[in-house]
Chain A
Amino acid sequence: MNLRKNLKKYKHIFYYFIPTAIFLSITTYIPMAQSITYSFYNLMEPFINIKFVGLHNYIYMFNRHDLNYSLYITLAYTIISVSAQILLGLATALLLNSWLFKKRAAIRGLFLIGYSMPSVATGIVFRQLFSYGPEGTLNNLLGAMGFGRFPFISDKNLAFLTITIAEVWKWHALATILFLAALQGIPKVLYEMAEVDGAGIIKKFRYITLPSLKFVLALMITLRTTFVLQHFDQPFSITFGGPAWSTTLLSAFIYRLAFEARDYGKANAVGVILFLFILIGVIFYLFVTRKE
């Protein structure tokens, strides 16, 4: 009785639900379900022994040094670059927000160029700039200044540094824009009142600016963490995964496991693991934005 009444009441919903469900199933949910399923199977070329193996893929991957290393550097990459992006973005926004700069929009536009380019493109530019050979611009500069040449891309640690710098470079503009917008939303009156009360620059920052930015800050941290965890295009274009697998972030790890090692089962297992990490980030994001 209840169901029939509800169906009648909501029957117009189907017109919207059905196209959406069809599209989304085809593009997203069916592949997703398949991915999770494959993670429980032994699925690799040349496809001779496909069988259900339960958690075998997961256990196998967890015991592998290269996955653990990939996890480790992905986390390090994420934490370092997200912090740097946010700090740099905040600093830039504070600078641009001060009364000195009227042409804010133009400057902001300039900063957006790197952000807007396809990640592969910026990756390739960085690869070119940081290259070791005679075409490497940065090394040429350092060499001319007497510092010698550095294997930015072929050395395990320098490569990590390179992709991290590239990550911060590309994405800090986003932080700048959001912080700038938030800063411009703080009523000037608050600062004036603080000045009357005798507050200096540091106090004003601590008691007015920072609290007003709390929301955007939390938003940025959760959002960026969630996205950076998955980043692939730019780091991969710079190092191709690093010397051997040493700068292969998680997404790249899955990609290479699937299309170089051709082991689809294990690749999806890693995928599910990454998914769980991302979900944590998303939950935080929802928690932060729920209040608004």
Chain B
Amino acid sequence: MKRDLSYTFTAYLVLFVLIVFNLSPIIYMIILSFKPNAEILRGGFLPEQPTLEGFISVFTRWHMAQNFVNSLIIASLTCIIAILAGIFGAYLLGRLNFPGKFIFVIAIIVGFSYPSAAILVSVYINLTALGLYGSYIGQVIAICSYELPYVIWILKDFFTRLPKNIEEAAMVDGCTHLGAFLRVVLPISRPAIGAIAVLSFLSGWRNFMFTSILSTPKTMPVAPKLYHMIVLGLNDYSGMMAATLLGSIPTILIYVALQKYVVAGLRS
């Protein structure tokens, strides 16, 4: 009896410590965003005079409304292109067999293994030469350099597991191979494609490395903007925390809400 009690107590204690460890930076971020800058400099824990000063400065002083719109545009475009290119590549890898397929598999693996930092250089040079520097599409193309192979790699297993012969049944019924793909395979793949849509959207939203170099202040999304806020060193801590919080909300919401699917996806 006594052993059980101390065992339970220790377990809960450890869990508590873990949760504190895990959540304290986030809780602090939230608290700081509601604290006026003067208070932050003074130290202390909870805000004595909670305020929305930080949030307001995000939009007035930092003009981040445009950045949020930019993030939305870039994330959406990434999502669309990732799906369009991804379904063909994943189907090719996951379901079709042809001589030389092995080379293609290797190519995809190499594709998401090449360091983004190095690709960034090439993309930068290319976009500048093409006059696309600072454009939305330029940033999306850059993000897709790793996102496309990644999406293809993840989605291929799904296509492998579809019911066998389903394309053949459609072909006998009157479709060409491509017709079978579009009319039968894709409609039953909706859940997987949905998952990929969400993942690639978030990936586009989060990207920092490419967008920091390839955007102009007008087209800069939230992530690099946050970085620039520190670099500019204006000591608007409240604003920065508020901006960070706002910029993280889409990702947190989606991940926590869709936990189940995230786990299932990770498991494969």
Contact = CB atoms under 8 A, between A and B. Distances in A.
Chain A in direct contact with chain B (Cβ < 8 angstroms): yes
Interface of A: 6, 10, 12-13, 15-17, 19-20, 23-24, 26-32, 34-35, 38, 92, 95-96, 98, 100-101, 105, 107-122, 124-129, 134-135, 137, 140, 144, 169, 173-174, 177-178, 181, 226, 230, 232-233, 237, 240, 250-252, 254-255, 258-259, 264, 267-268, 270-272, 274-275, 278-279, 282, 286
Contact of B248 (A30, A118, A250): A118
A124 B113 contact: no
Interface in B254-268: 254-256, 259-260, 262-263, 266-267
B267 A181 contact: yes
Given A117-B252, A118-B251, A274-B118, A128 B85 contact: no
Interface centre among B21, B113, B123, B248 (most CB of A within 10 A): B113
B92 A125 contact: no
A162 to B, nearest CB: 12
B92 A20 contact: yes
A126 B24 CA distance: 11
- Secondary structure of the A contact surface, majority rule: helix
B237 interface: yes
Closest 8 CB pairs of A and B: A271-B118, A116-B255, A23-B85, A31-B122, A12-B177, A254-B117, A20-B89, A118-B206
Given A27-B145, A128-B241, A35 B19 contact: no
Contacts of B8: 100
Contacts of A100: 8, 11-12
A24 B208 contact: no
Given A115-B255, A282-B113, A134 B42 contact: yes
Interface in B121-161: 121-126, 141-142, 144-146, 148-149, 152
Contacts of B144: 23, 27-28
Interface in B173-218: 176-178, 181, 202, 205-206, 208-209, 213
B148 A27 contact: yes
Given A28-B119, A92-B18, A134-B42, A108 B259 contact: yes
A134 B223 CA distance: 25
Contact of B230 (A107, A127, A181): A127
Nearest to A116: B255
Given A111-B22, A113-B256, A233-B209, A275 B115 contact: yes
